[in-house]
Amino acid sequence: MKLPRMLQPFFWDYDLEALSWENSRDMIIGRVLIYGSWEAVCWLRSQVGDRALREWIERSRGARLSPPRLRFWELILGLSHREVTAWIQAQKRSIWGERTH
């Protein structure tokens, strides 16, 4: 499957034509969830569905998603409030979180 051109801004360090959904699925999901526009996120949901998004977020423990984005997905996907709060707190305690908060 070819990725739509609208995703190019989120893959500034890749040749979009060379990316393969089969080989780069997790990275594509992550980039779109972290950096994606509303249009890109809607495209992603139509491709993988909410179950796959929920599994990715839970498996990655919210990997680099901002607190507002995590809270959004908590509501949309029915993620555990307790787990999302723990992921956000862990971000704040990280070395980089300490530097930015």
**Residue range 77-87, pLDDT digits in tens:** 999 999 999 99
Residue with tokens 């992921």, as numbered in its chain = 87
- What pLDDT is attached to residue 91? 84
Q: For residue 53, give the 3-state DSSP assignment.
A: helix
Contacts of 54 (CB under 8 A, 6+ apart): 73, 77, 78, 79
**Residue range 30-69, pLDDT digits in tens:** 999 999 999 999 999 999 999 999 999 999 999 889 999 9
pTM, two decimals, is 0.83
Question: Crossing angle of helices 81-93/67-77, nearest 10°?
Answer: 170
